[in-house]
Each structure stands twice: as structure tokens, then as C-alpha cells.
């Protein structure tokens, strides 16, 4: 069996990447039955983002499985969903995310992620990451760590915990403390970036893997005075101090069957199997596809107690650090499958939808 950070072509025909104990639990991709049409909703852009105005998470906790599957499909197809003004506790948010990932076909070995920097004995529990601007000022944080080498805010675009062998499928963030103005978050569509690649570029990238690395969390743990969480972090493959993994550059989302580019400025260090110069050229090109195509992005202005739920397999996001007053929220990340590319059945979003 390959190691947790090794990407190989397993016996399954047409699959590049993945891991035997972290394969999706779906016989086929999901589809939309229309059960969510009863709720008021708006697409925020043609490509990414949908807002629900009257869909409370509390009521979803007792909803039938089909509605949950439709919500999973909506999140995965639209990239990110926004639920306004949610009266939901951290415990309820964890319960919601466990049911969402389970009905969307996560492997039986996957659960909720425990971030390497989560303090042991936290009153909110191991699976809650407190997103706090005050805490980031003390410890560094992804955005502040990147600011040591660049003044471009766009360098903070990332997909959550891609440094783990089994990264996040879905993430939910509830913002409860906001500055008077500022503090928006942007998301970008990996499907759209894939769709804008030429066929020869798609073919080349489909044969490559990239290394994702978050060793800067070791320094951040020291800055915070915390010990790094080396225990199993939601999957038996996610443990130890390595904080690095190799994943396919092009990834298939099992919920939609669509392919997405899967590298990000926050964690991807290099493309494997090519020279460093070639890796730098390819990564810079793909990163620019994310940051310079505003029509592949959605920008969300938070109100207190809003919840965003997104698919980390097919989107990137970036907070806007344009404020000085405190900004804080609670995030839960569920774990999905080990990233893979379905060479036989993976499709372009636009081609599949006939756009």
C-alpha cells in the first residue's frame, strides 16, 4: 500500500491518485431533485455562489436525506452557498457537517478535521477552528505568514488543509464578530479555471502531481505556545508532523463528476516530475488564472451570524484583510476522499452542462 503522501495509479481503471482507504462512497455522482426550490435563493454570479435567504440550519438537522443530498450537490456545483442570519451553535454546526459529508459519500475512514493548531481541551471541541484576527496577529496565520515575503493580498488564496493526505471536502464558517466595514471573503471556481485551459494543457497537467506543504504551522505553534496536534486528525492518514502531501494537479469532484485545478498559493510548493523552473512557470500561470479572472470569483459581504459552506475540492477562498477591529468566527471542516483524477469519466463543467 502506498504511503499517505504518495500518489499512484491504483488498480481501479482510469483513476489517477487517491488512496485505497480513502475512496469516495458514491456509486454515481449526485444530481438535483429540486427539493430546495421551496426556499428563496439567488445565484450571485453566473459561475459561482448561491445565496439562500430563508434556509435555517436548525431545520436542516431534521430534514430528510434527499434534501441534504440536494444541498451537497448545490454546494459542490455552485462552489459556495451562503445562508443568512443563522441561529446555530458550534455543536449543531458539527452535527450538520457530519451529516452533509456522509450523505455526499465521504469514505467511512473520514470524519471532521482536527487542525494541527487546535488547542487541546478547547471548550468548543477539537473539530472547531476559531478564525480570529486577534489570534492571527499573535501567531502569524496563513495571510500574515505570506505577508513576510509579499505585499500582495492575493497570495492568501488557498483551499483548506490541502497539506493533508486526506484534505477537506466541505467547510462551514459562521462569522459572529465583524468590524464596522471590511472583512469580506472571496471564492473562486476551480471548475472555471479548468474550463479555460486548452486541451493540450489539460492533458499535460492531468499527468502531474504537486506537493502541498504547511510546515510554517510548526513555527506558528511555537509562536502561540501550543503543541502541534500530531494525533489522528480526522483520518488515519492525517497524523504526525510532516504536514505535507502530494495530490494530482487536476482533480475530479465525485459529487458532480467535474474536473478542477487543484493547486493553491497558500500551500502548493511545487509541481513534481518537472524542473523547478518549469514548476514555477506552471504554478504562476495557474495562480494567475485564479487571481486575475474576476468573472470566476464571488465576493461575499458578511453580516453577523451568516454561514458560508463551500466545497474545498473545487474552490479557493481568500479573506480580505482591510480592517483593524476584531473579526472572528467558527469553522468546521469535514474530510472527504484522497484527491484523485477520473481519467475516464471526469468532465468539464461547461461541457457537461452544455454551456
pLDDT tens digits for 8-65? 444 456 999 999 999 999 999 999 999 999 999 999 999 999 999 999 999 999 999 9
Of 239, 253, 94, whose CA–CA distance to 169 is shortest? 253
Residue 95 in any domain: the answer is yes
How far apart, in whole angstroms, are the C-alpha atoms of residue 268 and residue 246?
Answer: 9
Residue 2 in any domain: the answer is no
* pLDDT band for position 220 (cuts 50, 70, 90): confident
Q: Are 206 and 341 in contact (CB under 8 A)?
A: yes
Q: Are 21 and 107 in contact (CB under 8 A)?
A: yes
Predicted local confidence at residue 150, as pLDDT: 55
Q: What is the pTM of this model?
A: 0.92
Residue 141 has pLDDT above 70, yes or no: no
How many Cβ atoms from other residues are within 10 Å of residue 268's Cβ?
23
Mean pLDDT score across all residues of the chain: 91
Predicted local confidence at residue 72, as pLDDT: 98
Residue 275 in any domain: the answer is yes
- Evaluated on CA atoms 119, 125, 126, 129, the torsion sign reads negative
Predicted local confidence at residue 129, as pLDDT: 84
Greatest mean pLDDT among 226-230, 318-322, 345-349 lies in: 345-349
Number of domains in the chain: 1
Measured in Å, how far apart are the chain's first and last C-alpha atoms?
Answer: 41
Predicted local confidence at residue 265, as pLDDT: 94
Look up the domain containing 136 and give its range.
15-348
Predicted local confidence at residue 53, as pLDDT: 93
Beta strand 15-17 pairing with 297-300? unpaired
Residue 266 in any domain: the answer is yes
* pLDDT band for position 137 (cuts 50, 70, 90): low
**Percentage of the residues of the chain whose pLDDT score is greater than 90:** 81
How far is C-alpha 312 from the chain's CA centre? 2
Instruction: Name beta bridge partners: 318.
Output: 186
Beta strands in 249-300 (DSSP E): 250-252, 259-261, 268-271, 297-300
Residue 353 in any domain: the answer is no
Residue 319 in any domain: the answer is yes
Q: Are 280 and 258 in contact (CB under 8 A)?
A: no
- pLDDT average, residue stretch 79-100: 96
- pLDDT average, residue stretch 135-146: 52
Residue 232 in any domain: the answer is yes
Q: Are 85 and 114 in contact (CB under 8 A)?
A: no
H or E segment and range at residue 17 = strand 15-17
How far apart, in whole angstroms, are the C-alpha atoms of residue 299 and residue 183?
Answer: 11
Residue 4 in any domain: the answer is no
Predicted local confidence at residue 226, as pLDDT: 81
Predicted local confidence at residue 136, as pLDDT: 63
* pLDDT band for position 346 (cuts 50, 70, 90): very high
Residue 3 has pLDDT above 50, yes or no: no
CATH number at residue 180: 3.60.130.10
How far apart, in whole angstroms, are the C-alpha atoms of residue 58 and residue 79?
Answer: 22
Q: At what angle do helices 90-103 and 65-78 cross, to 10 degrees?
A: 90
Amino acid at each position: 500500500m502506498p504511503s499517505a503522501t504518495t500518489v499512484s495509479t491504483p488498480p481501479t481503471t482510469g483513476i489517477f491518485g487517491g488512496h485505497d482507504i480513502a475512496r469516495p462512497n458514491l456509486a454515481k455522482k449526485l444530481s438535483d431533485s429540486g427539493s430546495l426550490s421551496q426556499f428563496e435563493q439567488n445565484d450571485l454570479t453566473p459561475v459561482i455562489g448561491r445565496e439562500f435567504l430563508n434556509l435555517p440550519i436548525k431545520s436542516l438537522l431534521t430534514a430528510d436525506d434527499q434534501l441534504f443530498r440536494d444541498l451537497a450537490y448545490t454546494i459542490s456545483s455552485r462552489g459556495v452557498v451562503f445562508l443568512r442570519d443563522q441561529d446555530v451553535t458550534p455543536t449543531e454546526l458539527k452535527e450538520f457537517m457530519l451529516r452533509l459529508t456522509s450523505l455526499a459519500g465521504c469514505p467511512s475512514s473520514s470524519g471532521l478535521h482536527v487542525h494541527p493548531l487546535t488547542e487541546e481541551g478547547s471548550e468548543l471541541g477539537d473539530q472547531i477552528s476559531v478564525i480570529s484576527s486577534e489570534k492571527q496577529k499573535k501567531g502569524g496565520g496563513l495571510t500574515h505568514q505570506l505577508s513576510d515575503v509579499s505585499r500582495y493580498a492575493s497570495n492568501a488564496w488557498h483551499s483548506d488543509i490541502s497539506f493533508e493526505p486526506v484534505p477537506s471536502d466541505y467547510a462551514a464558517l459562521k462569522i459572529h464578530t465583524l468590524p464596522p466595514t471590511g472583512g469580506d471573503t472571496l471564492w473562486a471556481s476551480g471548475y472555471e479555471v479548468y474550463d479555460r485551459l486548452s486541451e493540450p494543457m489539460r492533458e499535460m497537467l492531468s499527468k502531474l502531481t504537486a506537493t502541498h506543504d504547511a510546515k510554517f504551522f510548526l513555527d506558528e505553534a511555537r509562536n502561540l505556545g501550543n503543541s502541534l496536534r500530531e494525533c489522528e486528525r480526522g483520518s488515519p492518514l492525517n497524523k504526525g508532523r510532516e504536514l505535507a502531501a502530494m495530490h494530482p494537479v487536476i482533480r475530479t469532484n465525485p459529487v458532480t463528476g467535474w474536473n478542477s485545478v487543484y493547486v493553491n498559493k497558500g500551500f502548493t510548493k511545487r509541481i513534481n516530475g518537472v524542473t523547478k523552473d518549469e514548476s514555477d512557470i506552471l504554478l504562476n500561470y495557474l495562480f494567475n488564472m485564479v487571481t486575475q479572472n474576476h468573472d470566476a470569483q464571488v465576493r461575499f459581504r458578511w453580516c453577523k451570524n451568516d454561514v458560508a459552506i463551500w466545497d474545498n475540492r473545487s474552490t479557493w477562498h481568500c479573506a480580505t484583510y482591510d480592517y483593524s477591529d476584531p473579526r472572528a468566527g467558527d469553522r468546521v471542516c469535514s474530510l472527504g476522499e484522497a484527491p484523485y483524477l477520473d481519467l475516464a469519466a471526469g468532465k468539464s463543467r461547461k461541457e457537461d452542462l452544455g454551456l
